[in-house]
Structure 1
Amino acid sequence: MTYSEAIQHLLKLNLFGSKLGLDNPRRLAALAGAPHERLRFIPVAGTNGKGSVCAMLESIYRQAGLRTGLFTSPHLVSFRERMQVNRELIPEKALARLTAQLRDSAAGFPEGQGPTFFEVAVVTALCHFAEQSCDIVLWETGLGGRLDATNIVTPLTSVITNIGLDHTRWLGETHAAIAVEKAGIIKPGIPALTAAAQPEALAVIRAETARQGAELIELGQAESTADLPLLGRHQQTNASLAKAVVRRLQGELPVPPGAIRDGLAKVHWPGRLQVIRRGEQTVLLDGAHNAEGAAMLRQALA
């Protein structure tokens, strides 16, 4: 299978549409040798800021000398952006090889119940990160959390950025209902951190951590004073959350203070209030796609 053929195969899987549930990704991962059992994860859920927090954490841990895996979605230009090791995109040959392997593994699934595009992407990333012996994987959830394909891993800690009204067709029409889905990444006895401030959503997150016997660290809308290349006050909130995660995990993943500072100062995350200058023209690119994201964009431009 060539790289081009791999991409065409993945795009055809979109015919199966979105499918919430963990049976398929668990089965496919098992057929692939359970690569996730050889890795450590920090999953990040939330309505907005998931990718930014993952990018910040990745930059910090890489500055600390750890080998990082970064899984995010969607991509901006190339599918390969979704799975990176030390910010290197998955090589075309590796993606083609893994896609072929997973296609063959999925041949035994019942007709019409095969893995979706996103489920294959998740397991492809797991295989790549395991092959590359990543020390830590920054793991962005896709849709929701509880039944999202990414939720087959065991985290070092679970992170929820914030809760807003998005994807209401699948996740529910209230902050509380959406919070139930996002809080589904919280695991028994494993600490969780959140910057969620919406009262109904926060109540759900508190209740779920209590039910799971897990520690909850709440940041509210606390703002960092970090030197950040990413624009907007909301990115300072994201930076505060990233720093809190690193500090909470110092026992498992020791990071010197300088790595936090340098990692945040060097973080790269395109398409988020990104300024591009071409000659006399200046263009601002931002991927805001829901009401809360648009409000943050408006605040940044005010």
Structure 2
Amino acid sequence: MISNKFKIDDAASEMKLLSFIDDLLGVEKFSPDPERLTKWFSHFKEEFNRLNIPSIIVAGTNGKGEVSLILERYALENNLYVHLWNSPHIISVRERFSHNGNAISAIELLDYFEKSKDLTKKLSYYEFLFFVFCQSSLDKIQANPNQQHILIFEVGLGGRLDATNFFDSELAILTSISRDHTEFLGNRLADILNEKIQVTRSNGYLVCGVEQPMLKTKIKSYVGERDISLKDVTDHLREGETFKNLNFHKKNQLMAKEAFHIFWKHILKRNDAVKTSFKETVWGRPLRMTYKGCQFILLGSHNLDGIRHLAKWTNELNQMITDSSNDSNTSHHCSHSSSNFYFDEAWLSFSRQNEDDLRDCLDLIFKSPCLGREVSLTSFNHPRATKWESLMDCAKSLRGENNKKVTFEENFNHLLGKLEKKRDRKVLLAGSYYFLGSFISSLPTDSYQFE
């Protein structure tokens, strides 16, 4: 997940990074191998343990990127030197490497790439990048010995087999469980939970935001058998507040705040006051950019739960404009009669997923006219993109009057072409992170500006 701190300031070096990845790493694929991890990451594990560098691992289907960024903010506020790994990247691979609140420079990352070039034949795409992150983190830890360093790992996919889980993080966060990457994690929510909860460690700590009662029961049983201290944020809300009426970003803030307090007191063993203020103007918001007089807001919503959160969020924005009844704040859908929209247009596209999941996402989009005054489904050119034919087949199978409110455009460049004739439009881009990245990559680097 990208934050507003990221900027491209060296286009030539960025192109060299892109060429290195295309030529030597290719396309990112999930190909875990515990033996590879043991061989190439044991050194980092030993060094981090020797230097007493604590870590936090963040897993879950939705929300882990934002929670990781909020944790980074808290660490910086409390004068900790934080090393954050997150994925996937949207604009540049540099987004995955954050040290002390700053993305690694393109020149520095290129140097690490060249020094580790031989490993591109021995590690997967993801493992190679994570190896470089570990090496750059270790170098900065050794160069700044008087600082209190911490590591924050955002899990890439699943948990049990992810490279981030090679390190024994005492504190784990499990943000949510829903269906995603079912070809690797299984179709049942219980199976997905089993993959993700294994980022915890016996006698460690777990902060949990999972809502389903059946899964909560399984989690309590799992942690009880392993002496893991559980902080279920759904059980620790303020009086009169329910977890369901919190919006997605508020939930993530709550999980991050609870986790950082545990980290401060029980992992760092600090008794002094901890700072956990939160500036919503900077953190906990989607990425905003302007292009040719229009404002774009980019928000990853890559599965059914993500679309639900998106519909609820846009509905709340619409209600702010119309000053309508607050009853809609607890609904995923908005009234068909609403004539005021926060977004003039909403463009959505998805990564490859099984047909049932794609159909469920489309069905919810068709039933959620609050996304924008004009809603378009489109496609993009990427190995992980849902094929246009599959998208259309699923859409045709969903009959009903709602789908008349959604238009279809085979390539988002056609939507961009139409937009050039308009000004002062607010456009929501949502769906796959790869879609968001493809959109930004298609624009000349000097033609847009992040807010």
| TM-score category, normalised to shorter length | 0.7 to 0.9
Secondary structure of 1:93's aligned partner: helix
1:86-235 to 2 correspondences below 5 Å: 86-104=100-118, 114-133=122-141, 135-220=149-234, 233-235=247-249
Quick check: 1:8 aligned with 2:33? no
Q: Mark the CA change 1:235 to 1:32 in structure 2 (over 3 Å): closer, same or farther.
A: closer
The corresponding residue for 2:83 is 69
Amino acid at match of 2:38: R
Q: What is aligned with 2:56?
A: 42
Task: Structure 1 unaligned segments of length 5 or more: list them.
Answer: 108-113, 226-231
Q: Deviations over 1:175-227 (max 9, x none)?
A: 111000000101111111101111232233223212322111111286689xx
Q: 1:22 aligns with which of 14, 34, 37?
A: 34
SS of the residue 1:162 aligns to? coil
**What is the Cα deviation at residue 3 of structure 1?**
7.1
Rg bigger for which structure?
2
> What's 1:53 paired with?
67
Instruction: Give me the whole-angstrom Cα distance separating, in 1, the residues matched to 2:29 and 2:139.
Output: 29
Seen in structure 2, the aligned counterparts of structure 1 residues 233 and 34 have a Cα distance that, compared at 3 Å, is same
SS at match of 1:196: coil
Paired with 2:77 and 2:175, the residues of 1 have a C-alpha distance of: 23
Q: 1:208 to 1:98 in 2, by over 3 A?
A: farther
Matches within 5 A, 1:281-300: 281-300=294-313
Please report the RMSD computed on the Cα atoms of aligned residues, expressed in angstroms.
2.8
Measured in 2, the distance between the counterparts of 1:132 and 1:224 equals 40
Cα contact 1:31–1:105 (8 A) shared by 2: no
Kindly state the Cα deviation for residue 149 of structure 1 after the two structures are TM-superposed: 1.1
Report the secondary structure of 1:65's partner residue: coil
Distance 1:250 1:106, change over 3 A: same
Whole-angstrom CA distance in 2 between matches of 1:28 and 1:255: 37
Q: Secondary structure at the match of 1:217?
A: strand
Task: Calculate the TM-score normalised by the size of structure 1.
Answer: 0.84
Aligned residue pair count:
286
Tell me how far apart the structure 2 counterparts of residues 86 and 15 of structure 1 sit (CA, whole Å).
Answer: 29
Distance 1:24 1:17 in 2: 15
Aligned-partner Cα distance in 2 for 1:33–1:183: 21
- String of CA shifts for 1:214-244, please: whole Å, max 9, x gaps: 111111286689xxxxxx8111111111111
Change (3 A) 1:138 1:56: same
State the one-letter code of the partner of 2:131: V
Distance in 1, Cα, partners of 2:163 & 2:71 = 21
Percentage of matched positions with identical amino acids: 23
- Please give the secondary structure, in 1, of the residue aligned with 2:300: coil
Distance in 2 between residues matched to 1:284 and 1:76, nearest whole Å:
13
Gaps of 5+ in 2: 1-12, 142-147, 240-245, 316-451
SS of 1:250's equivalent in the other structure is helix
Question: Which gives a bigger RCO, structure 1 or 2 (Cα 8 Å, sep 6+)?
Answer: 1
Give me the TM-score of the superposition, normalised by structure 2: 0.58
